[in-house]
Amino acid sequence: MLEAAGLRVQLVNARDVKNAPGRLKTDKLDAVWLAKLTERGMLRPSFVPPAEIRRLRDYTRLRTNLTRERTRHWSRLEKLLEDARSAPRALWSGARAGG
């Protein structure tokens, strides 16, 4: 969203930010402090892949999650069917033993 507006965006490792001196606690002052650190070159930006690669990663992550969900549902269905098949046998064997 910020990139689409023409702003230059940097991703910075939180560990690097914590190690910088003069940390303030409010969001507004924190934003000013981060801007000053960036202007002075005290923060090293991390690699951010191009938008096309990020979109591809999102699709890959979505596919992985959907595959995992599908497998989970199939496992639940198999268990349900196995339980349904064994329930009548258990009832039948209990009835024969008691009768």
41-79 pLDDT, tens per residue? 888 888 889 889 999 999 999 999 999 999 999 999 999
With cut-offs at 50, 70 and 90, classify the pLDDT of residue 97.
low
Q: Where are the domains of the chain?
A: 1-48, 49-99
pLDDT of residue 73: 95
Whole-angstrom distance, CA of residue 72 vs CA of residue 7: 42
CB neighbour list of residue 23: distance below 8 Å, 6 or more residues apart:
17, 30, 33
Residue percentage of the chain with pLDDT more than 70: 79
Residue 34 vs residues 5, 19, 31, 60: alpha-carbon distances, Å: 20, 12, 5, 33
Percent of the chain with pLDDT over 90: 25
Tokens matching residue 57 = 């990663």
Q: Which residues have C-beta within 8 Å of that of residue 57, sequence separation ≥ 6?
A: 49
Contact assessment for residue 39 and residue 8, using Cβ atoms and an 8 Å cutoff: no
pLDDT of residue 28: 82
Encoding tokens for residue 89? 């046998």
- The span from the CA of 45 to the CA of 2, in Å, is 16
